[in-house]
Amino acid sequence: MINLNANKIIISFFLGFSLLLTSVTSSSAPIYEGPDIQIIGLDFYQDLESEFQRYSYQIDALENGVPPLILQNLPGDLNKIQSSKQRKSIFFKSLLPMILLANDEIRVEREQLLKTNQHLAELKSLDESQEQILTTLSKRYKVKYEVAQPEQTIKRLLNRIDIIPADLALAQAANESAWGTSRFSRVANNLFGEWTFIQGQGIVPEGRPEGETYEVQKFSTVYDSVRSYLHNLNTHSAYLHLRKLRAESRISGQNPEGLILAEGLLRYSIRGVDYIKELQAMIRSNKLNRFASAKLRTISI
């Protein structure tokens, strides 16, 4: 793991993704074709705002793309921002680049899978490198690799290897982390309320019932939290319905939409239907669907 002592480290995309791939949800290496990725660690929101200004990054003016910024942590003083509009703007600007980066990783894997599927359909066989791709993706996405029926393996993988819309990810991050001000978002870089049952890998929540062993997962960077969240929705049995809704959108020729996929999150919270309605309300009231077409920058500004 690269030492991140400096507040800001500029790295090439090759080195950047070698860092990303050390996280707990490591994947095959994607190629980000754009400006250098920036890893930023700032303790105060005003410094982060200055950094955004330096990149001409405005949440309502994304015609030139979103700068590829990775936050080591969120500023610890977000709760001191009096203006809810300003707090939301900083939160969305902080999370959007990382959601786009993580989704692009998934797109690369999906493209690998689609090419493998096309090759299989045309030649009725796979070469050694394609078999290795299926082996790697099957392990990562928790799918049994049927060697004798690779087409079935590919079908199941395509159901799992797909993006989570930015509007849904932003709404859940805001909801679960209280707009980046919750204790676990500050001390554990955990923005999505994810648990771990491996003792010592997280933080014991206050008021945990006696006899329970779960901890709130601790992440090295905010980006690790984003990647883990996407991987969780793409693999856990609790979100089978979300993946079904997404696949149906693909079949109908539509891009997945957060408002629709939110219906598949009934088991994400003990609040059930009320939780889904709250997420959908957040998407609507904050007009988060405006980020549906957001892309990472391909040129430096």
Residue 35 pLDDT more than 60?
A: yes
CA-CA-CA-CA dihedral for 298, 172, 177, 60, to nearest 10: 40
pLDDT of residue 195: 83
pLDDT of residue 18: 34
Q: Which domains does the chain have, with CATH numbers?
A: 8-291 (1.10.530.10)
The answer to whether 106 touches 89, Cβ cutoff 8 Å, is: no
Alpha carbon distance 148, 125 (integer Å): 10
- pLDDT cut 70: percent of the chain above it: 89
Return the higher-pLDDT residue of 202 and 186: 186
- CA 102-42-204 angle, to 5 degrees, is 70
Mean pLDDT, to the nearest integer, of 231-257?
97
pLDDT of residue 21: 37
Give buried/exposed letters for 277-301 (b at 16+ CB in 10 A, else e).
Answer: eebbebbeebebbebeebebbeeee
116 backbone dihedrals φ, ψ, rounded to 5° = -65, -40
Mean pLDDT, to the nearest integer, of 271-285?
98
Return the higher-pLDDT residue of 206 and 244: 244
Sheet holding 69-71, edge to edge: 8-11, 37-40, 69-71
pLDDT in tens, 170-189: 999 999 999 999 999 999 99
Residues 6+ apart with CB under 8 A from 128: none
Question: Which range is most confident: 122-131, 161-170, 181-190, 291-300?
Answer: 161-170
CA-CA-CA-CA dihedral for 287, 293, 298, 301, to nearest 10: -30
Average model confidence (pLDDT) across the chain = 88
pLDDT in tens, 52-64: 999 999 999 999 8
pLDDT of residue 300: 78
pLDDT of residue 36: 87
Residue 281 pLDDT more than 60?
A: yes
Return the higher-pLDDT residue of 88 and 27: 88
Name the nearest CA neighbour of 61 among 36, 89, 103, 98: 89
Alpha carbon distance 120, 124 (integer Å): 5
Which residue type, as a one-letter code, is found at position 116?
A: T
Residue 111 pLDDT more than 60?
A: yes
pLDDT of residue 31: 55
Name the nearest CA neighbour of 222 among 124, 98, 114: 98
Residue 100 pLDDT more than 90?
A: yes
Alpha carbon distance 162, 165 (integer Å): 10
pLDDT of residue 11: 31
Burial tier of 40 (Cβ tally within 10 Å: 0-12, 13-18, 19+): buried
Q: Strand, helix or coil at 247?
A: helix
Residue 39 pLDDT more than 50?
A: yes
Mean pLDDT, to the nearest integer, of 244-263?
97
The answer to whether 157 touches 138, Cβ cutoff 8 Å, is: yes
Which residue type, as a one-letter code, is found at position 157?
A: L
Lowest-confidence range among 1-5, 66-70, 154-158, 296-300? 1-5
pLDDT category of residue 27 using cuts at 50, 70 and 90: very low
Lowest-confidence range among 28-32, 221-225, 247-251? 28-32
The answer to whether 249 touches 257, Cβ cutoff 8 Å, is: yes
DSSP code of residue 201: S
Tokens of 195: 């648990």
Residue 267 pLDDT more than 50?
A: yes
DSSP code of residue 197: -
pLDDT of residue 213: 83
Mean pLDDT, to the nearest integer, of 77-103?
97
pLDDT of residue 4: 36
DSSP strands (E only) in 36-172: 37-40, 69-71
Q: Strand, helix or coil at 92?
A: helix
